[in-house]
Copies of this chain bind each other. A is one copy, B any other.
Amino acid sequence: MFDNLVKNLNSYLYFTEEELNFFLSLFEIKTIKKHENIVRAGKVCSHVMYINKGVLRYYYTINDIEYTTYIFTEDMWAAEYASFLTKQPSAVTIEALEPCELFLLSYDAVQQGYERGKVFERFGRKMAENLFITHVNEVSKMQTKSPEERYLNLMREQPEIISRVPLKYIASMLGIIPESLSRIRKRISSAR
């Protein structure tokens, strides 16, 4: 059940068997349907989620237009972490693009971990550091890379989402219209 999660946790840090069992006992298992929202814009994000199965899309809406910001798949952690930490309303909605199996940590469960010992504090530190680095890199990519470079990058880093996710969401995430993404894809395939 928790095999992939255990591998993921151990990739951050070494946990003793006792620490690991305690950690796993904090998780809740949740399955959600395609198009169900696990986080809603305007509501507090109450959980951190490990994606054991499925695909999640982050988006925000302005004037009825949806802007996709991230797409996450298996073995990734998801949350609107600023909302989770501050208990302020989430800026984004997180929607399942496929049926998902998620392992959830509530705010209280996370605090229980921090109270328990240093290894959990270290885990929380590394999560926050990774999130910070990822966010800085994403923003920098949007500022300095062309849409084509960003698409090539996405093919390298998350190749599976190209076949699993509607192209309109991928285009939105790259900051371009679907027609531009189609042109980029044609140019790349004819160049090969």
Residue of B nearest to A131 (CB): B132
* B-chain residues with CB within 8 Å of residue A128 when the two chains form the complex: 125, 128-129, 131-132
A11 to B117, CA, bound (A): 22
* B-chain residues with CB within 8 Å of residue A129 when the two chains form the complex: 85, 128
Interface residues of chain A, those whose CB is within 8 Å of chain B, are 62, 81-82, 85-86, 91, 114, 117-118, 121-122, 124-125, 128-129, 131-133, 135-137, 139-140, 144
A90 to B122, CA, bound (A): 24
Least CB distance, A123 to chain B, in whole angstroms: 9
21 A-B residue contacts at CB 8 Å? A62-B144, A82-B132, A82-B133, A82-B137, A85-B132, A85-B133, A86-B133, A91-B136, A91-B140, A114-B122, A118-B118, A121-B125, A124-B125, A125-B128, A128-B129, A128-B131, A131-B132, A132-B135, A135-B135, A135-B136, A139-B139
